Copies of this chain bind each other. A is one copy, B any other.
Amino acid sequence: MASDHTRSAILAAAERLYADRGFGDVTLRDIVAEAGVNLAAVNYHFGSKDELIAELFVTRSIATNRERLRELKAAEEQGGGRAPIEVILHALVGPTLRGCLGPENQRSTAARFMIRASIESVPPIRRIKNREIDHLRKFAGAMRRALPDRSDVDIYWGLNFALAMAHHTIRESERLTKLSEGKCDLDDVEDVVSRVVSVATMALTAGKAETKAPARVAAR
């Protein structure tokens, strides 16, 4: 019914501003100015500022989660209900890394927004992240099936470390570039993914029967 024009103009403007300047110093007035709409429009269409932020974040994060599960499901079906651990980990961290890294000049607004969301932790986003546990449990299940000898504790630690490496690399990508004087190429996303997967795989399989050496994609 509604033209929806104002609504999506707000969403686009908000995402752009949050991506560029962070949640801390973007006010509703900044957003409506950028969107060219009236101040009251935000509350009319979204209810509150927090709900606007939540909608932005939910949209992007269900897209990522769907992609993760799609990859996971495809892998498990192909393997008859059991996928190799590398592939599971790839499905876990691949979509996130691909969604947030990549050459800066061609990095989408959505990507920059998600980086912000992972650096600054504002209440509405934190609330949503806390509901991610069910989603992660699905991966824990797949990992258990892939490594039936492994204890639950080790599985959870492996999962934790995989997410750790992915998220920290996103959060601190600038610092890593500076620290390594550009030697670590964060733009080569597939290299980053395979590094994370490789280390997480080692973490999960160390001290047990041999698995095939995790493939390392050549940089650039």
Which B residues lie within 8 Å of A180 (CB)?
152-153, 156
With beta carbons under 8 angstroms apart, the residue of B152, B159, B168, B202 that contacts A167 is: B168
CB-contacts of A153-197 with B (<8 A): 153, 156-157, 159-161, 163-165, 167-169, 172, 175-176, 178-180, 183-184, 195-196
> Are A152 and B206 in contact, CB atoms less than 8 angstroms apart?
no
With beta carbons under 8 angstroms apart, the residue of B156, B161, B163 that contacts A199 is: B161
How far apart are the CA atoms of A175 and B182 in the complex, in Å? 33
> Are A183 and B121 in contact, CB atoms less than 8 angstroms apart?
no
Which B residues lie within 8 Å of A203 (CB)?
198-199, 202
Complex: chain B residue closest to A153, CB-CB: B183
A195 and B163 in contact, given A140-B179, A175-B130, A202-B206 (Cβ under 8 angstroms): no
> Are A24 and B169 in contact, CB atoms less than 8 angstroms apart?
no
With beta carbons under 8 angstroms apart, the residue of B121, B160, B184, B202 that contacts A157 is: B184
Oligomeric state, in number of copies?
Answer: 2
From residue A216, how far is it (CB to closest CB) to chain B in Å? 8
Which B residues lie within 8 Å of A164 (CB)?
164-165, 167-169, 172
> Are A133 and B175 in contact, CB atoms less than 8 angstroms apart?
yes
A119 sits at the interface (CB 8 A): yes
A81 sits at the interface (CB 8 A): no
A136 sits at the interface (CB 8 A): yes
Which B residues lie within 8 Å of A176 (CB)?
156, 160
Which B residues lie within 8 Å of A175 (CB)?
130, 133
> Are B160 and A169 in contact, CB atoms less than 8 angstroms apart?
yes
Q: A153-B219, A156-B180 are in contact. List 17 more A-B contacts (CB 8 A).
A: A120-B121, A130-B175, A133-B178, A137-B179, A153-B180, A160-B168, A160-B169, A161-B168, A161-B196, A161-B199, A163-B168, A164-B167, A167-B168, A199-B202, A199-B206, A202-B206, A207-B213
Q: Which 3 A-B pairs have the closest CB atoms?
A: A164-B168, A156-B180, A199-B203
